[in-house]
Amino acid sequence: MTASIKANMNDVLRYPVLGARRLSNYWWATVVTLGATGFFLASLSSYLHINLLPFADPTSLIFIPQGVAMGFYGVAGILLASYLWVIITLDVGGGYNEFNKETGKVRISRSGFFGKNRKIEIEHPLDKVQAVRVDIREGINPKRALYLRIKGRTDIPLTRVGQPLPLSELENQGAELARFLQVPLEGL
């Protein structure tokens, strides 16, 4: 929820939500891919006695147990890297929050995994919105999030998962949303 898009003379408020396509995920997917490939090629080199790595000579490794262990770590790393690349490609968690006074609806959309539930969409009437809630917890695992309190439902999270938003940005977005929806802002 970094930037809001306003259209039609302040009747629509839309916040894009960053999903899995963030720099840190690209970084870790690349690092894990390179490391896992190195381990796997070292294992293969020790088995075939052919040097497949240009920067080392793993042919001198004994295949059992060293080559097998490196092969295990290589395969495990390749599986982890594949998972990371799939969630980046699908942009899991990405989407938008749209508040539309013209239609009188709140629409929350997120991307999911494969299958019937690839797109997760929640739609509610604006008149059912009771409040915008700010949840701030500091400590080892800090949490700073905005929630939409809707009558008859559990609170719906509006912010991205992952690194918490800066406090000033969270307060500004919460205040802007509460003002737009003309509901109270809770938690501050």
Confidence check: pLDDT of 7 > 80: no
**Helix 68-90, helix 23-48: angle, nearest 10:** 150
Q: Which two tokens stand for residue 62?
A: 């004994």
Q: CA 78: distance to chain centroid?
A: 21
Task: Tell me what percent of the residues of the chain surpass a pLDDT of 90.
Answer: 57
Contact 164, 142 (CB under 8 A): yes
- Please give the residue that has the higher pLDDT: either 44 or 113: 44
Q: Which residues are CB-neighbours of 41 under 8 A, at least 6 positions away?
A: 52, 53, 58, 74
pTM assigned to the model: 0.79
152's torsion region: left (phi>0), alpha (psi -120 to 50) or beta?
left
> pLDDT for 68-99, tens place per residue?
999 999 999 999 999 999 999 999 989 999 99
User: What does the chain come to in residues?
Assistant: 188
Q: Residue 50: exposed, middle, or buried by beta-carbon count in 10 A (0-12, 13-18, 19+)?
A: exposed
User: What would the mean pLDDT of 142-162 be, rounded to a whole number?
Assistant: 87
Confidence check: pLDDT of 5 > 70: no
Confidence check: pLDDT of 109 > 90: yes
Q: Which residue has the tokens 């039609």?
A: 8
Domains of the chain and CATH, by start: 5-19+93-186 (2.30.29), 25-90 (no CATH)
> pLDDT for 167-183, tens place per residue?
888 888 899 999 999 99
> pLDDT for 10-60, tens place per residue?
789 998 988 899 999 999 999 999 999 999 999 999 999 999 998 888 888
Strands 119-125 and 105-111: antiparallel
166's torsion region: left (phi>0), alpha (psi -120 to 50) or beta?
beta
